[in-house]
Amino acid sequence: MAVRLDVLRPFAKYLMRLDPLTEFPLTAIFGKSRRRRAPHIYTHQEIVGLLAAARRLGPSGTLRPATYEAMLGLIAAAGLRKSEALHLRCGDLDIHRRVLTIRKTKFRKTRLVPLHTTTVDALKSYLGVRARYGSMRPEAPLFLSSSGGELRQRTVQSVFAKLRDELGLIARGGYDAVRIHDLRHSFICRRVRLWQEQGANIDNAIAALSTYVGHAKISDTYWYLTGVPDLMAVAGKQFELFAEGHHG
């Protein structure tokens, strides 16, 4: 209810100018509404720099730098959640069909994620290194730790923090620091911007994108149009098209 009131409040204020007798709660009678904070949207140069920094991790030429470069690159290229990338198994990657199988994700759903040929090529290179350090059985972790097991979230976060500090990345969104999860947000925003430039039907495109990234509700994907400054122009264009059609 608090969120609904916040959505309606600007409309009510507008109506009050037309009709002073309009009544609307002036205080947060249902408490504070939860507002999404805008994410950091990586530039292309920042992503390239992050992957280059991962490649420089020590010991040079070992599994560790190859794993972090491949994992962060896959998150950026396919918009995966960090947890989804860490839980991948070798059998989830179909190199020949260029498809990833994401199993029982955040909402207990399984989905197929088609990959670009350049992403597949990068993963092939990683597998060439990985094969020297552990089993390639279907149930084995795709991204292998130096100890031969699945990467731990805490370890990954610690390594990422070091890379972020080395690069001097400054958060431009509503968070105090740049996050791995912002790579997923950046993927979504970049995809919507490209579709706009190509003149695609945004509504149809967002429906497909919502399925691709595994959102539970399509409204979670539409939020980016108004919640991320980079995409406000897309939202404005959508409104212009709506207004023109309504006027006609």
Q: What does the alpha-carbon distance between residue 179 and residue 161 come to, in Å, rounded to a whole number?
A: 8
Respond yes or no: is residue 224 known to be catalytic.
Answer: yes
Contact in structure between 198 and 206 (CB atoms under 8 Å)? no
**Rounded-to-integer distance, Cα 239 and Cα 233, Å:** 10
215 is catalytic: yes
Q: Which residue is listed with tokens 């999404």?
A: 36
Note if 106 is an active site residue.
yes
User: Among 102, 116, 110, 35, which residue's Cα sits nearest to residue 73?
Assistant: 116
Q: Is 181 a catalytic residue?
A: yes
- Structure token digits, residue 74: 């896959």
Catalytic, 97? Answer no
Catalytic site residue from 40, 82, 184, 190: 184
Say which of 40, 64, 81, 185 is annotated catalytic: 81
* 4 tagged catalytic: no
**Nearest alpha carbon to residue 106 among 224, 32, 217:** 217
Diameter over CA atoms, the chain: 75
Active-site entry in 13, 35, 106, 217: 106
Of 42, 126, 222, 224, catalytic: 224
Alpha-carbon separation of residue 222 from 71, 76, 195, 200, 227 (angstroms): 27, 20, 14, 15, 9
The residues carrying an active-site annotation are: 81, 106, 181, 184, 215, 224
